[in-house]
Amino acid sequence: MATLTLTLTTHRGITKSFSRVARHFSVSACRREIKDIQSLAPRVLPLYKESDGSDLLSLQWPSPPRNVLIVKKLGAPAVTKSLIEFVNHIVTTYPSLSIILEPKTAEEVHSSLSVPVFTSTPDRPLTASTHEKADMVVTLGGDGTILRASSLFATCHNVPPMLSFSMGTLGFLGEWKFEEYKRAFREVYMSGSVAGDRTPVLDDMQSVVADEDVESKMGPTGWSSIRGKSMGSTRGARILMRNRLRVGLFTPDGELINTPTNGNMADTEGPNGRVYAMNEVLIHRGKEPHLAVLDVFVGGRFLTEAVADGMIVSTPTGSTAYSLSSGGSIVHPLVPSLLLTPVCARSLSFRPLVLPSSTPITLRLSPKNRGREVEVSIDGKNMGQGMAVGMEVRVWDEEIRHGKNDWRGGVPCVMRRTIGVTDDGFVGGLNSLLKFNYPFGAD
């Protein structure tokens, strides 16, 4: 009997040792691998449920997200280290996830990760691939990183939920601190988990206890296999839906120009040749020594002939960016509006305007303009096509609400949940980052 016990103990020991070796070889074999993003499953489109007593929405996944796009700040070793820590955590805790990285980032970090990563190929750029594959987006960096991630979807109507960690110089748009990444990602991944992949819409708000009871009977799904993580339908991730602008460049004859932009803005043409801007569209004289002369139309009616360095049409999100530096107003991101802000206008009577979001704006380069053409940029990225005399930039607000619980378009940003606080972080951003109404001489 003693001999038999010894044999069983040894056998179990060998089994455990063999399992560890197998896992080691499995990890080593895939650690340096970079795969084509096209091999991933199609993206899961979430729903956004309206809640009583709050202007924020509640994220509801119809089934567990599978593909996570991560965009990090470039040239920042500390952020790269945090990226590796973040990826290794989520793929260990949520083993069904696949990680998508930008090509340069994938080359930089794939040898330090425990799983293969996915990225684009030269014949199909990341901007086109992410539209079909990315379920959600995580950014590690500042506001510029968020804009770069948003630009990957500049020609896509449905932007995935965006979870942003503030790790850059300016973090007005980044809600979360990196040390909160475990809690933050859990909130997004498990949001709506009670529905599983059987119910597309939650009709009734149930208690957390009932949610956990339902989930326990679902079987080995992507959610139920992760024990102790359920948020419940009453604890869905909070979403601030940020409006974007629709931008089109037209010839003097009114013909729409398809203009792929440089960098990551739009390597493919958007619907009807238009692209979307999260912050602003800018017309600027660029290298020309003379002021730009622009005819400004608001709602189809001529407003003024503007002589200035340039003109900004901004969203409420972009109101705290270039528009603010040019003297524009600060506008809450939930106010449906457009901002028209001149850049160093020659006339002191031309002041910044805040207009209803439904008002189309047209900027036409006047024949009086002395320079050959002006530059057009979207969210800080220059378009490949300059603007010559007679050409127009037309701007419309993006319609994002199409009915109750029917939200399509915009940039869904995951907001931080703070006990006892129901706002969307706007007031805190004004106080902590812009030092709003800060006393003179204060530290």
pLDDT of 217-245, one tens digit each? Answer: 433 456 766 655 555 555 689 999 999 99
Residue 374's CATH number = 2.60.200.30
End of a domain among 204, 219, 241?
A: 241
Number of domains in the chain: 2
Mean pLDDT value across the chain: 80
DSSP string, 307-361: EESEEEEE-SGGGGTHHHHTTPPP--TTS-EEEEEEES-SSTT---EEEETT--E
Over 80: is that where the pLDDT of 177 sits? yes
In a domain, 422, yes or no: no
DSSP 4: H
- Using the structure block, give the residue that is written with the tokens 């696949």: 98
Same domain as 193, residue 62: yes
In a domain, 427, yes or no: no
What are the structure tokens assigned to 179, written together? 């040390």
The domain of 327 spans 244-397
Over 50: is that where the pLDDT of 357 sits? yes
Over residues 165-169, the mean pLDDT reads 84
**Residue 385's pLDDT band (cuts 50, 70, 90):** confident
Residue 47's CATH number = 3.40.50.10330
Residue 110, helix vs strand vs coil: helix
pTM value is 0.81
Over 50: is that where the pLDDT of 26 sits? no
Same domain as 207, residue 258: no
Same domain as 317, residue 211: no
What are the structure tokens assigned to 268, written together? 């493919």
Same domain as 375, residue 285: yes
Question: Residue 369 to residues 97, 164, 313, 389: CA-CA distances in angstroms?
Answer: 54, 42, 20, 7
DSSP string, 358-413: T--EEEEE-TT--SSEEEEEETTEEBSS-EETT-EEEEEEPP-B-STT-B-SSEEE
Same domain as 97, residue 208: yes
Q: Which long-range contacts (CB under 8 A, 24 or more apart) does 194-197 make?
A: 194/230, 194/232, 194/233, 195/60, 195/61, 195/62, 195/233, 196/63, 196/221, 196/223, 196/224, 197/62, 197/63, 197/64, 197/221
- Report whether 234 contacts 207 (CB < 8 A): yes
In a domain, 15, yes or no: no
**Residue 371's pLDDT band (cuts 50, 70, 90):** confident
Same domain as 211, residue 269: no
- Report whether 208 contacts 234 (CB < 8 A): yes
Over residues 298-321, the mean pLDDT reads 95
Closest of 418, 284, 421, 268 to residue 363, by C-alpha: 284
**Residue 104's pLDDT band (cuts 50, 70, 90):** very high
Worst-scoring range by mean pLDDT, 126-140, 170-184, 193-207, 408-422? 193-207
**Residue 124's pLDDT band (cuts 50, 70, 90):** confident
Question: Residue 17 to residues 11, 360, 433: CA-CA distances in angstroms?
Answer: 10, 68, 53
Same domain as 235, residue 171: yes
Same domain as 177, residue 292: no
Same domain as 122, residue 149: yes
Worst-scoring range by mean pLDDT, 49-58, 91-100, 246-255, 356-365? 49-58
In a domain, 373, yes or no: yes
Over 90: is that where the pLDDT of 439 sits? no
End of a domain among 241, 272, 288?
A: 241
Same domain as 54, residue 194: yes
What is the rounded CA–CA span in Å between residue 438 and residue 443?
Answer: 10
